[in-house]
Structures are given as structure tokens and as C-alpha cells.
Structure 1
């Protein structure tokens, strides 16, 4: 058993930002990371993933993103940045250590891991994001469908779908980006959603939108706890994706009404063959290790306010969508949330 001032479950962008602020307050944290390196889910995202925020606005606390500040970093650049950032954080990082369950006796958290080791601390930050819990909606006719159903968490590159008829379900940034690149190699690609795709300009008035978010405070305003339900985030676009959809690459249709063997049934009654249904339907917080504590709702979501648990003193969350602001689950925003959360958790007495 190893004792620390704080345990951080998850060694991605949220966990690393938390460790930085804990160390700044003189605390001794441990990061417990299930993967074999502290880079979170980034190495497992699709190959072409590109940030929607420039490098200038995509840094964790204490280490600017390298290179041209106006460029939009790709996945592998983010992975390299996180690897480097982890080396600058003065904390014990236990990789290959998956937390299976957590106990709390009222003062101390005990994390039980798949290695057999246990770790204890008076504070715990759950920073495991949602990649481990992709949302799979209940599609009508799924039981009879003979094709492939995948979530975008399994998607890597378009060449794997060459010659196929693919339906991408969703209307967000990932759905549009993936559908557009699939249209170059697949026989047919349809972007299907229950609501229309909404675009916002990437660079209004010649400046990236994150510049305007910063100067207006819109992107950092702590309004997340005031929202009854998170709003739909529009697709950020330079005009490329809007033009692709207008050109039918991919085609855009209202959500199909059913799947039937190897076909999709559309609202107008027409049918088309479909080889793969690719779900760009988001994620839910991945917190199975807290399931036995009473810290979660019946749907597995954390009970919290602005990241601070409302059920267990000393427990906090980072990286949740709209935790405090529009940017809470992003590189550009998680540092602010981490500073706020650590400041609140710092008031917890050590046992």
C-alpha cells in the first residue's frame, strides 16, 4: 500500500494538468494510468484527427505547445506534446495500472488496481474521460442487421472502408470530418442525424474563433453548472466541410428509421444497402471504478458541481463535457478546471 496526498486516476491531459496544480500546492500526487504511457486516449484516436484550436490555445499549464502558434496540431503532435509534458510533471506516474475499484472510509480513498497494488490518499481526482465508454444508441432493427456497427472510437483510417457503403451517424465535428474523408474512398457515404449539421466559421473576421472566445470570455465562462443539459456543439469549419456536404460528398439525410438485414430504411420509405454503420454519437464518463461508492447516478454519470463531488468530500472530476465551460474537456480548458478543482480539494484534511 502506498500513501499519497492525492490520487489521480487517468494520465491523459486532465490527469497531467491536475498533477501540475497539485505539485504547485506542495502536494505529492500519484497518477494511476491504465495504458502503457501517460498520453490518455490520444494515441488511440483516428489518424487524421486535427485540433479545432490553434497551438497557441492548446496548451496545458506551464508548457506552451511548441511550433507555429497559429497552426492546428494533428493527433501525433498532441501525443508527443503529452509525452513531453509528463516528463515535466514531478509526480509518481504508474503506467499499466488500471484502477478496478475504489473504497472510501470517510477520510481516505483506497484504489485497488489490476496489478494487485493498492494506493491511498485523502483526495482523489477521476480524470479518465469518456473514451472507454463510447455511447451506442439503440438503433431500430439492429437485431436483424447483418452488417458492421462500429463506434468512431474504433475508426482509424478511411482506407479500411474502401468500396463500402457507409452510414456515419452524428452531426458533430468528428462525424463530419470522418464522413468527408470516407467519401474519397468509399462507394457511398451518408451522414445521418436527427438534427441538421450546424456550422460556425473557424476564422470569423480573419481571426480564429478561439481568439474571440478568449477576448469575450465565452470559451472560459464557468457556466457549465448552470446548464440543465449540455448544448449541441456546432461544427467548426473554414468552409471545406460545408462545401463537401453541399457537393454530396458525403450525402446528408435525416436519420434512418430502421436497419433491415443489409439495408437501411429511410423516412421516405426508400432503402439502400449499407455495409457499415459508424457511430459518431459521443461518449459517457468512464467511471466504472466508482460504481460501488454511490458517487454516480443510475446512468453512470458523476454527482458533482463544477467537478467537485457532491457525495464524497475529497473527490473531484476533470475532463467532463461542460464541467465548467465550453472548453472543459479540451487541452485549452482543462488546466483552468484543474486549478479550480485542486484549490477546492486542497481544503480537505489529510488523514
Structure 2
């Protein structure tokens, strides 16, 4: 069965919902296809202790402020899931789930979106699938030889799963620091980073990061000197649990090891550390396999865009994948600015 809509939004997380809000305000006919069985996007799969980097007032989608969470300055993941669920209900967004998109194809004047429950024809498509579903694992020698447990950020839940164990956490970004802080009290922790960890000043949170990312984008667009954006400030937001573990001397980073063996990790000088588990907090890649039929990827795997619009396929927009589709667009507050332009651009295309 093939159905038709002016716009198909792929992904019902924060970016897809923000897109739906603006599409509805412009009076466009659209449908959102979400592979998850319940609302909340990737937030419903986060580890137990995860908190936002910003207060609720600075973590809102267009049109609806996030309510405060009692007793928390920085809302936790469960609070975000509740907010997204209520946002979807409040604006009566037409989200179909669970629907898995298998491919987007050119079909004459339309785009055909193939799914596991039929196909859709659309005049425009917004891809808002994010990165959570495509975790990245580095090709470290010996990784397949290690006999202990290996898991990525997406699979980590709680320090209780590792109590009393020897755990190596790999990664010097926010996920690595937060999970290392989570494990710092109940495990024999080794935290490994590619370079010495750079903590942002304790009074900097997501508000300042969003402002820095926006200023960098404006400078680049205006042909001015690159400000460095967020990277110029540091890599790790010192949220309270990270700050506490750091100040207690429990977050001491070791340099990156060169290989794994059956029982642990090995550094360049031959030093070894035995481990029961390794948590790879090594980032993500954009989840774009559904766009492969369009053959838009460049040599580095990215799709060239002007704003959020695909350069070689103007009927396609990419939303929420990071700075290349809008400053801080992978964040709750950051997606609001590019999504407004996305919706307006689609409205102009359809008229």
C-alpha cells in the first residue's frame, strides 16, 4: 500500500517533533515515521544517571518551555522523555510508530519512502534520525581478543552492573566523563582519553555552548575569522556528578592504550591493566543508511548541504545531526533555529 503526504518526517525524536511543530504552523500536510515503539526518541534509552547540560528553561523545543524538574537544576533523561511525550500530545503531531524506514528513493516528481509497513510518496522529506543508532567503535588492535565484556555508551545503564569489577572507560568527551564519574565509586576504574581531558569552567553549561556554536556559525557564514566555537572552550561540561568525582580525585585520566589482549589493555611502553569490562564512549556517526538509494554521500560520508537542504536533492532536508546541519542542532535548544528555516524552505518549494 502506498500513501501520500506533502512532507514525510523520518524520526520522531526531538528534531522530528520540532519539525512537526513548524510544519503544522505553516499548514502543511505531513506525517512523522518513528522506529521507536514509544515517544521520547533516544532519551528513553539513555543511562540511568544521565542529566542535561542546561537547566530546563534552556532545553526547550519551539513553542513549549520544558517544565522544571523538582529537586533538579539539570533535568534527567526520564524528565526529557516525559516532556517529549507531552509535546507530541499537546500539538497532536501525526507520529506513526513503530515504523522503520528502509529507503528513500526518487520517483519522478516525488520521493518514495519505503518502510516495513508500506510506502509513502512525498514532495519533500526531512531526515531527523540523529546519531544514537549508529555508535562508533575504533579499530583498536586486539579488540576481538579481549575476553571481558565490551559495550558502547548506548548499552551502558548503571554502575550497579559493574560493582567490584575492573572497568576501563574510553573517551574524553561528555559521555566518557559522565560514565567514568558514575563508575568512580563502585568499581576499580581506569579512565582513558586520547588527550588530557579539558573541563569547561564550572559555571559554563549548555546555554554558553549554544551561544558559542551560534557565534562560530555566524562568523563562518560572514567570512570572518573562525571563533573555534565550543571546541575553544573545552570538551567536558562539569555537571555536578562530574565535578564531584573530579574534585574528589577520582577522575584521573590515562593516555590512550595501543592495543588490547585477552585480559585487558596495553600501553606503548608495555604497561598492562587487566579489565573485566571496557566501556567505549567513542562517539557516533549520523544514521543515514535509509538515504543510501539517493547516492548523495561525499567522500567522507557526509551529504553536502546548504543549511539543512541537501545540495544535490532539494526535496530532502537533514535535521539535527550536529553543526553541519545547524549550530548545536543535535541539542534540544539548538534544533529550534534551523528547523524554522527548514519548514519555511519546504513551504516555498511546495508553492
Output the TM-score relative to the length of structure 2.
Answer: 0.90
Please give the residue correspondences for 1:219-298 in structure 2 after superposition, counting only pairs within 5 Å. 219-221=213-215, 223=217, 232=231, 234-237=235-238, 241-242=242-243, 244-245=245-246, 247-298=248-299
2:148 matched residue in structure 1: 147
What is the rounded CA distance, in whole Å, between the counterparts of 2:304 and 2:167 in structure 1? 37
Would you say the 8 A contact 1:257–1:265 is kept in 2?
A: yes
Would you say the 8 A contact 2:212–2:229 is kept in 1?
A: no
What is the rounded CA distance, in whole Å, between the counterparts of 2:184 and 2:214 in structure 1? 35
Superposition deviation, residue 191 in structure 1: 1.2
What are the superposed Cα offsets for residues 227-281 of structure 1, whole Å, 9 maximum, x if unpaired? 8x99746111157635634654244100011111112112332111011111111
Would you say the 8 A contact 1:201–1:238 is kept in 2?
A: no
What are the superposed Cα offsets for residues 65-108 of structure 1, whole Å, 9 maximum, x if unpaired? 11269821100000000000011234321111000111113521
Would you say the 8 A contact 2:171–2:281 is kept in 1?
A: yes
Task: Report the CA distance shift for 1:338/1:274 in structure 2 as closer, same or farther (over 3 A).
Answer: same
What is the rounded CA distance, in whole Å, between the counterparts of 2:157 and 2:241 in structure 1? 21
What is the rounded CA distance, in whole Å, between the counterparts of 2:229 and 2:34 in structure 1? 28
Moved more, 141-150 or 280-289: 141-150
Unaligned segments of structure 1, at least 5 residues = none
2:103 matched residue in structure 1: 101
Moved more, 229-238 or 193-202: 229-238
Output the TM-score relative to the length of structure 1.
Answer: 0.90
What is the rounded CA distance, in whole Å, between the counterparts of 1:107 and 1:91 in structure 2? 26
1:85 matched residue in structure 2: 87
1:27 paired to 2:28? yes
Unaligned segments of structure 2, at least 5 residues = none
Would you say the 8 A contact 2:329–2:338 is kept in 1?
A: yes
Superposition deviation, residue 325 in structure 1: 4.8
What is the rounded CA distance, in whole Å, between the counterparts of 2:116 and 2:167 in structure 1? 38
Would you say the 8 A contact 2:182–2:241 is kept in 1?
A: no
Task: Classify the secondary structure of the residue corresponding to 1:5.
Answer: strand
Task: Report the CA distance shift for 1:35/1:334 in structure 2 as closer, same or farther (over 3 A).
Answer: same
What is the rounded CA distance, in whole Å, between the counterparts of 2:49 and 2:69 in structure 1? 19
What is the rounded CA distance, in whole Å, between the counterparts of 2:130 and 2:326 in structure 1? 16
1:198 matched residue in structure 2: 198
CA RMSD of aligned residues (A): 2.4
1:189 matched residue in structure 2: 189
What is the rounded CA distance, in whole Å, between the counterparts of 2:28 and 2:39 in structure 1? 20
Superposition deviation, residue 157 in structure 1: 0.8
What is the rounded CA distance, in whole Å, between the counterparts of 2:74 and 2:202 in structure 1? 11
Would you say the 8 A contact 2:49–2:76 is kept in 1?
A: yes
1:166 matched residue in structure 2: 167
What is the rounded CA distance, in whole Å, between the counterparts of 2:209 and 2:275 in structure 1? 40
1:15 matched residue in structure 2: 16
Superposition deviation, residue 176 in structure 1: 0.5
1:132 matched residue in structure 2: 133
What is the rounded CA distance, in whole Å, between the counterparts of 2:333 and 2:195 in structure 1? 28
2:76 matched residue in structure 1: 74
Task: Report the CA distance shift for 1:209/1:324 in structure 2 as closer, same or farther (over 3 A).
Answer: same
Moved more, 259-268 or 30-39: 259-268
What are the superposed Cα offsets for residues 120-146 of structure 1, whole Å, 9 maximum, x if unpaired? 111100000011100111012213222
Would you say the 8 A contact 1:100–1:112 is kept in 2?
A: yes
Superposition deviation, residue 40 in structure 1: 1.0
Task: Report the CA distance shift for 1:108/1:330 in structure 2 as closer, same or farther (over 3 A).
Answer: same
What is the rounded CA distance, in whole Å, between the counterparts of 1:172 and 1:9 in structure 2? 28
What are the superposed Cα offsets for residues 295-325 of structure 1, whole Å, 9 maximum, x if unpaired? 2235543222322101211100111111355
What is the rounded CA distance, in whole Å, between the counterparts of 2:11 and 2:125 in structure 1? 11
What is the rounded CA distance, in whole Å, between the counterparts of 2:317 and 2:325 in structure 1? 13
Task: Classify the secondary structure of the residue corresponding to 2:24.
Answer: helix
1:337 matched residue in structure 2: 338
Would you say the 8 A contact 1:32–1:94 is kept in 2?
A: yes
